[in-house]
Structure 1
Amino acid sequence: MSEAAKKDPMHGKTLKAMLTELVDKYGWEELAAKISINCFANDPSLSSSLKFLRKTPWARRKVEIAYMELIGMEPPTRKKPSPRPAAPREADRPKTNPWTGKPF
């Protein structure tokens, strides 16, 4: 087993195993309240939920984070995007039309 695999408790954990542990711990009703995903609230089943989660990255991510919290692992923090540069102010804008070369 590699060093990275030893350090990562999520390594080798399947989505089915994660979801099964969450359902065993919380049940479908509490899981639907904890994670706002419709497939947990309306006629939930393991197979239909797995189909949805495999096709929907944002929902899978929510389940992975809930599983990390269940096993006592700190979920990774999302990096904030770099702020966009501010739009040029009126004083910074050119006083001439760039296509015609004439003043505005």
Structure 2
Amino acid sequence: MNKKNGQQNEQPNNPMHGVKLQTILEVLKEHYGWEGLAKKVNINCFKNDPSIKSSLKFLRRTPWARDKVEQLYLNLIE
């Protein structure tokens, strides 16, 4: 899905460029809910007393979990 439209963006073919982790979490939570997210990505911050704040804290220091969440987001927007 690479579009070459002549724009001079730093990463024109990267759908994640400029998308904040908080926005990703909000979109996924809206679509799946916390329970659905916990089933898709098996991490405690989605299972036990979930919140955007606690999830952001965990995902920012846990690269493998962040990668899974970002991939889930990419699959959703495609």
> TM-score normalized by structure 1?
0.64
Equivalent residue, structure 2, for 1:59: 65
Structure 1 or 2: larger helix share?
A: 2
CA distance, structure 2, for counterparts of residue 9 and residue 33 of structure 1: 24
Q: Which of these two proteins has the greater Rg computed from alpha carbons?
A: 1
CA distance, structure 2, for counterparts of residue 16 and residue 2 of structure 1: 26
Q: Unpaired runs of 5+ in structure 1?
A: 73-104
1:50-70 deviation per Cα after TM superposition (whole angstroms, max 9, x unaligned): 000001111101101100111
**Shift in Å, 1:9:** 1.8
Q: Unpaired runs of 5+ in structure 2?
A: 1-6
- Find 1:37's aligned residue among 19, 43, 48: 43
1:35-82 deviation per Cα after TM superposition (whole angstroms, max 9, x unaligned): 11111000000000000000111110110110011111xxxxxxxxxx
Q: SS where residue 12 of structure 1 aligns?
A: coil
> TM-score normalized by structure 2?
0.84
Equivalent residue pairs, number = 72
| Identical pairs, percent | 56
- The higher-RCO structure (CA 8 Å, 6+ apart) is 2
Q: CA RMSD in A?
A: 1.3
